[in-house]
Amino acid sequence: MKNDYQVIIIGCGVVGAAIARELSRFDVKVAILEKEADVSFGTSKANSGIIHAGFHSTKGTLMAKFVVPGNRKFDRLCEELEFPFERRGELMVAFDENELRILQTYHKMGLDNHVPYMELLGKERVLEMEPNVNPEVEGALYAPTAGIICPYEYCFALTSNARENGVELFLNKKVSWIGKQGNGKFEIETEDGSRFTSDFIVNAAGLYSDEIAKFVGITNFKIVPRKGEEYLLDRRVGTLIKRVIFPCPTSNSKGMLVIPTVDGPVMVGPTAMDTEDKNDWATTRDGLKEVFTQAQKMVPGIRTSDIITSFVGLRPAAVGNNGDFIIGTTTVSGFINAAGIQSPGLTASPAIAEHIREVLNKEGVKMELKRDFKPKRKIAIRVRHLLEKRDYSEYGNIVKNDKAYSKLVCRCENVTEAEIVAAIKEGHITLDGIKFATRAGTGRCQAGFCTSRVMEILHRETGIPFEQITKKGKGSEIAPYPIKKGDGK
């Protein structure tokens, strides 16, 4: 029957996508309902991109349970799904006696969570590893298993592979009602009038997971967003540090960090401020000051003049659960939560996905491995890596096979038309989606040069009228008013 599934996942951020990909290994009929115009458009797009070592999580929590197993899975996932990932390592730096004691506490927490290869370093070793860290540093906790990824590329990769293996993705489908039929199946209605039925629901709806749960009568948790501002610095700054630099944490957040990114630029942030507004995506002057004060304390070479862009993330922090993840079965049969996933959710996502699969299995979903499962994802060649290495013979070969690789669309990040078209074919038809999938528009000129070209290609490939092309879904059209001329009126 159409629109009838065994499992429907609500929400396609990194958690929903990881679950989808995990389930796609088995003979299960799965669909994802995502309310935005593309996946990863909620909390996941503003993630800091850190794969945590795991010493921040308190023993006994679900966070602690999933963070290290999740961390371990990234090498294989990266190899199969081709998203950028590097195990750079992280340093939690201390500037006085008190902070050195705090390092000891986290070292113990790490041991409790089975974080491997940690070291407590003295001043000289820290400065040897990271010469641009503030020379007043007294010591650091070093965890080499921490890494950095691009969170939305990870989400896109998971989703793409899940779809290639049979999972169906429905975009622009905001759930408006969930009911139960007589036969025990869930009935789901979305705002645009579509209907779906499913045996099981996995609630991975991030900021709105409490509202989704409410539809089935579950009210024992509330999501109170914790806002974080992040500032992206010119890739020239990327040579300052190699590893993720943490301060000693505060009571409600891991603190404001200096984060190298896989693509080059350095990120500083995030702040941590509770807000009632799930739509408060605004950066603030105070936030900027706060971030830079903290960041400059750790790495003095950072300047506000290096900012190329900024953004806000909203962590879906669950209140009424000690802020821990809310994962597993509920009082409603068939309704499974994967909610309240704030940090270290990204790191934990592969482990959470496996756990959810086990839960579903236990609840009665038969899990037989697909014989024709395709673990490897094919992606468009990222030409910029070749160009950075000045490998023109290899690049020349690629161009011979496909002319579209010689059409440069984004000059700042060296993105060609071939890559844009591949992203569009994968379903990314908003400028932000294409930006996340290809990096076109993320560079120095911030899409000044490539915007019109990407729009032309989108229009050509999809037929979407120029004036309907959006930044991130309906309501965000770039050039919405065609100038009516020559009509004799």
Partner 1 sequence: MKRSIICISCPLGCSLSVEHDDKIIISVSGNACKRGPVYAQKEVFAPERVVTSTVKIEGAKIPLLPVRTDRSVSKDKMFEVMREIFKLKAKAPVKRGDVICKNICNSGADLIATRTLS
Partner 2 sequence: MTKIIDALVIGGGPAGLAAAISLKKNGIDKILVVEREDSLGGILLQCIHNGFGLHRFKEELTGPEYAEKYIEMLEGTDIETMTGTCAIDIVNEKDGKTVYLMSEKSGLIEAKTKVVILAMGCRERNRGNIAIPGTRPAGIMTAGLAQKFVNRYGYMPGKEVVILGSGDIGLIMARRMTWEGAKVKAVVELQPYPGGLNRNIVQCLNDYNIPLYLSHTITAIRGNSRITEVDIAPINEYKEPKKSETFTLTCDSLLLSVGLLPENELSQIAGVILDKVTGGPLIDSNYMTNIPGVFACGNVLHVHDLVDWVSEESEATAKAAAEYIKHQTIQKSKIPVRVGNLVRYALPTVLEPGKPGLISLRVIAPAENATLYAKVDDEIIYKKAHKKIFPSEMQRIEIKKVPENAKMIHVYLE
Contact 51, 68 (CB under 8 A): no
By the criterion CB under 8 A, which residues form the site for partner 2? 231-232, 279, 281-285, 287-288, 304, 307-312, 387, 390, 392, 395-396, 399-400, 403, 406-408, 411-412, 414, 416, 444-446, 448-449, 451-452, 466-467, 470-483, 485
Q: Which two tokens stand for residue 226?
A: 């914790």
Active site residue 52: yes
Q: Which stretch binds partner 1 (CB under 8 A): 108-116, 168-176, 269-277, 481-489?
A: 481-489
Among partner 2, partner 1, none, partner that 279 touches (CB below 5 to 8 angstroms by kind): partner 2
Question: Which residues fall within 8 angstroms of residue 298, CB to CB, at 6 or more apart?
Answer: 93, 133, 134, 137, 245, 247, 258
Closer Cβ to partner 2, 223 or 418, answer by number: 418
Query: Is residue 489 a contact residue for partner 1 (CB under 8 A)?
Result: yes
Closer Cβ to partner 1, 12 or 457, answer by number: 457
Question: Which residues fall within 8 angstroms of residue 393, CB to CB, at 6 or more apart?
Answer: none
Closer Cβ to partner 2, 139 or 316, answer by number: 316
Q: Bridge-partner residues for 312, per DSSP?
A: 229
Among partner 1, partner 2, none, partner that 246 touches (CB below 5 to 8 angstroms by kind): none
* CA nearest to 265, candidates 243, 226, 232, 298: 232
Question: Which residues fall within 8 angstroms of residue 319, CB to CB, at 6 or more apart?
Answer: 221, 222, 223, 224
Q: Which amino acid is at 171?
A: L
Report CA-CA distances (Å) from 484 to 306, 463, 488: 42, 20, 10
Q: Which two tokens stand for residue 113?
A: 């969570």
Helix (H, G, I), strand (E, B) or coil at 329: strand
Shortest separation between residue 271's beta carbon and partner 2, angstroms: 12
Q: How many CB atoms lie within 10 A of CB 74?
A: 22
Contact 383, 404 (CB under 8 A): no
Closer Cβ to partner 1, 1 or 483, answer by number: 483
Closer Cβ to partner 2, 211 or 234, answer by number: 234
For the window 429-468, what string marks contact with partner 1 as x by the rule CB under 8 A? Answer: ----------------------------------------
Among partner 1, partner 2, none, partner that 217 touches (CB below 5 to 8 angstroms by kind): none
Query: Is residue 487 a contact residue for partner 1 (CB under 8 A)?
Result: yes
Closer Cβ to partner 1, 257 or 457, answer by number: 457
How buried is residue 398: exposed, middle or buried, by Cβ count under 10 Å (0-12/13-18/19+)?
A: middle
Shortest separation between residue 489's beta carbon and partner 1, angstroms: 6
Catalytic residue among 52, 56, 355, 428: 52
Query: Is residue 484 a contact residue for partner 1 (CB under 8 A)?
Result: yes
Shortest separation between residue 478's beta carbon and partner 1, angstroms: 17
Shortest separation between residue 195's beta carbon and partner 2, angstroms: 26
Residue written as tokens 């409790």?
112
Query: Is residue 485 a contact residue for partner 1 (CB under 8 A)?
Result: yes
Alpha-carbon gap, residue 258 to 242, rounded angstroms? 10
Query: Is residue 488 a contact residue for partner 1 (CB under 8 A)?
Result: yes
Binding site for partner 1 (CB under 8 A): 484-489
Q: Which residues are the active-site residues? A: 52
